Each structure stands twice: as C-alpha cells, then as structure tokens.
C-alpha cells in the first residue's frame, strides 16, 4: 500500500499512470503533477473512466526545487517517479533529498545547453542518497532500463562471461506522416544527431553520427537497416561488467526519416545554439519541436511493431555462445489498451515495474543505482505480467 507521485504528463506518463492503476495493490494512491495541469487532468479522467481509479492532480514546476519540495511535504508520497524531461532530473533528486523520499527516472540528466548524456551528475548523488537512507533508481524505461535488466539476466542465466554486447532497437511502426519523432522531439533529435560512441577494448571510440550501418533480421519484422549511435545504458553497463570488450547500440531509421533529418540539420533547425529572431532569442530545435507532431498524437495512427533487445556473445561452460533476448510490442495493441503508441508503452511499463520493485522491497538499497545492479528475475516476471513478454534465442 503505497503512494506514488508521478511527475510529467506526456506520452510516457499516460502509460505509467494507466499501469499504476492496473496494479492498485501496490500503488494504492496515485498523484500526477506536471507543468500543465490540464494534461494531468486529461490522463486522470481517462484512468478514472477505464479502471474507476482516482488520480489526484497538481500543477508543479519541477525545476523549482522549493515548489516541488513543498508539494512532496504536503502529499507525503513514498516514491517520486520522474517522467518529465532529463533536464529536471537533478532538481527532482534535490527535492527527494530534502524530503527523504525515494526517486526513479527513465532517462539520465542532460544539461539543457549541452547535448551530453552522462551519468556522472546523478552518480555524484550516491553518498548523499545513502546517508539520507533513500534510493534512486536510474533509467527504468526500456532502453535504458529493460536492456540493462536483459544484460543482467544474460549474465545470471545464459553466459558466464559477456564479451560483446549489441543493444538493438527497431521501431517498425508506420504513422503515415512525412516526419515525426516517437518521443519528445527535442530529446530524440539531440540523441540521434550526436556523435556515435561505442566501447571497444577498454576505451570509448567516437565516430560521426549514424556513420555505421548494418542490416539486422528482426523476429516478426524482417530485415531492417540499423545505425550505430550512442545510448546512455552503454556507460553503466561497461562500468558494471568490466569483462565486456565491445558494447554498441543500434537503432533502425527509415531512409525517409534520415533524409528529413539531414535537411533539418543542414538548414540549422536541429541546433541548440540560440538565434535572434525578430528581436527575441529562440533555440531552433525548440521551435522545431513546436511545429512537429506531438508524439502523443501518433497513438491512433501508428501500425506495426517494435523489437528491442540485446545480442550478447561470450562464454558458457568454456564454449563460445551468442544469445538474443528481446521483446516485441505492437503499436495498435498498446493503443487499444492504454491510448498510447508502443514507444511510450515500452517506456511506461518498465517505469511502473521499477517503482513496484522498490515499493515491494524487492529492489531496495540506499544510494543511487542502475537497473543491472539488482536481481533481474522478479523484474522480468512482472514485466511479462504487465504487458511486455520477452523471448530468448540462441543465435
């Protein structure tokens, strides 16, 4: 019986709130707070209509630590589940420290003025969280999140040593629009246009954005082009599994998506440097976000599947072995269940499960942790139960 405070009322939040309502034995009280109250109220109304569960709502600017601290003190939640944007992470962690409440997020902190994904800022909170006797669980989405747990599962059950890890993310969904991103456009484009970084022989190798391309044959989807890029879970995985010699992250992009992105980049629309427009400073990528479709609006029109998983090569009983652990998720089935497309769904379900693990005490320790630092089994069991079953294949 616990009270969860969910921050942010976007695409992922909609799924988290629906899923917490489905697990009312654990989440007996739900409060949803975000910058725009009307968005919280719309999600609360949908959940009330579907499950008869009441969701309390509140307006909050999570970048204002004093305001958020006052809200936490007033409603006294057991856990703060952050599904706002990466820019808010440190402010929300500060409010959790001030009030002594556990914290969870799905994406690592990123300074607004620099497109840099790194855990160092959040890992630096470890001693303070430990001393306060509270826990922070970082990156409890799909990737990062489930991909970290798949890696922990591979290490626990399938391989004695992991030498090569490829995390491969396919979105084979079609929304029928010329160009749209399937989660927050600003965060998505910052990530895709960044230099690719992968781990090779004990060091990070930097290559130009999307310069490495391969073809991968996905179960139920078929062959797709995949492109190497940097993704934040690589940093924690190579830290926690020093035996990994090579770690890479790959994502599918259609030629159409890449052509649009190239043009937008070439004309300067993806830049995060401010420009002067009619006497006012604007940031091109933020303007671009305003004119692109809201990812939440893609739900009713997206068809097809996602497939995200880990291919790991290593040793089992002294022999070389390659295993593939993955999930397949269907956009239309997600929409029918919770009114969101599969990208929000595959992020929101693991966010709820991470919170469930913490609140049930299955994953609980004071300090700041990544997903692979806990027992993968109870998490994966609950993940399958709440809509994201997974498969294991030997390649």
In the complex, which residues of this chain contact ligand NDP (CB under 6 A)?
7-13, 34-36, 39, 60-63, 83-86, 88, 106-107, 141-145, 183-184, 187, 295-296, 343, 347
Instruction: Give the number of other CB atoms < 10 A from CB of residue 69.
Output: 18
Q: Which one, 102 or 105, has the nearer CB to ligand NDP?
A: 105
* 58 in Cβ contact with 27 (< 8 Å): no
Q: Which one, 183 or 324, has the nearer CB to ligand NDP?
A: 183
* 373 in Cβ contact with 144 (< 8 Å): no
Q: What is the DSSP string of 235-270?
A: HHHHHH-TT--EEEEEEE--HHHHHHHHHHHHTTTT
Nearest approach, Cβ of residue 182 and ligand NDP (Å): 8
Q: Which one, 270 or 313, has the nearer CB to ligand NDP?
A: 270
C-alpha distances in Å from residue 341, one per residue of 35, 67, 122, 173, 334: 22, 32, 29, 9, 6
Nearest approach, Cβ of residue 20 and ligand NDP (Å): 15
Q: Which one, 154 or 371, has the nearer CB to ligand NDP?
A: 371
Nearest approach, Cβ of residue 293 and ligand NDP (Å): 12
Q: Which one, 30 or 60, has the nearer CB to ligand NDP?
A: 60
Q: Could you tell me how many residues make up the chain? A: 395
Nearest approach, Cβ of residue 163 and ligand NDP (Å): 25
Phi, psi of 360 (to 5 degrees): -85, 0
Nearest approach, Cβ of residue 76 and ligand NDP (Å): 19
Nearest approach, Cβ of residue 92 and ligand NDP (Å): 9
Q: Which one, 142 or 218, has the nearer CB to ligand NDP?
A: 142
C-alpha distances in Å from residue 19, one per residue of 101, 165, 237, 388: 21, 30, 27, 12
Q: Of all helices (H) and strands (E), which one includes residue 386?
A: none
* 216 in Cβ contact with 226 (< 8 Å): yes
Place of tokens 């492109």: 227
């Amino acid at each position: 019986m616990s009270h969860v405070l969910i921050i942010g009322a976007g695409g992922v939040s909609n799924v988290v709130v629906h899923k917490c309502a489905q697990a009312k034995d654990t989440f007996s009280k739900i409060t949803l707070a975000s910058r725009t109250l009307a968005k919280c109220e719309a999600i609360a109304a949908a959940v009330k209509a579907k499950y008869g569960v009441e969701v309390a709502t509140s307006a909050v600017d999570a970048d204002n630590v004093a305001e958020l601290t006052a809200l936490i003190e007033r409603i006294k939640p057991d856990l703060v589940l952050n599904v706002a944007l990466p820019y808010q992470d440190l402010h929300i962690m500060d409010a959790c420290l001030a009030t002594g409440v556990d914290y969870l997020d799905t994406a690592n902190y990123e300074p607004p003025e620099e497109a840099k994904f790194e855990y160092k800022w959040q890992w630096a909170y470890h001693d303070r969280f430990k001393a306060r006797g509270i826990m922070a669980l970082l990156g409890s989405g799909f990737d990062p999140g489930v991909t970290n747990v798949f890696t922990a599962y591979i290490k626990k059950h399938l391989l004695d040593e992991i030498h090569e890890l490829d995390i491969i993310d396919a979105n084979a969904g079609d929304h029928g629009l010329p160009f749209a991103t399937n989660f927050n456009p600003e965060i998505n484009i910052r990530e895709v246009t960044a230099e690719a970084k992968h781990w090779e022989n004990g060091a990070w190798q930097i290559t130009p954005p999307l310069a490495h391309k391969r073809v991968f044959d996905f179960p139920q989807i078929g062959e797709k082009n995949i492109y190497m890029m940097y993704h934040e879970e690589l940093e924690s995985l190579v830290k926690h599994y020093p035996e990994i010699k090579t770690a890479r992250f790959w994502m599918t992009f259609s030629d159409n998506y890449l052509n649009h992105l190239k043009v937008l980049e070439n004309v300067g629309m993806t830049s995060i440097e401010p420009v002067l427009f009619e006497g006012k400073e604007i940031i091109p990528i933020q303007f671009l976000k305003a004119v692109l479709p809201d990812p939440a609006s893609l739900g009713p029109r997206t068809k097809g599947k996602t497939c995200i998983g880990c291919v790991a090569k290593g040793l089992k009983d002294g022999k070389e072995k390659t295993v593939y652990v993955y999930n397949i998720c269907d956009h239309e089935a997600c929409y029918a269940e919770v009114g969101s497309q599969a990208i929000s769904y595959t992020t929101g379900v693991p966010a709820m499960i991470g919170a469930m693990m913490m609140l049930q005490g299955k994953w609980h320790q004071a300090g700041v942790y990544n997903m692979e630092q806990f027992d993968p089994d109870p998490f994966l069991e609950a993940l399958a139960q709440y809509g994201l079953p997974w498969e294991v294949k030997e390649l």
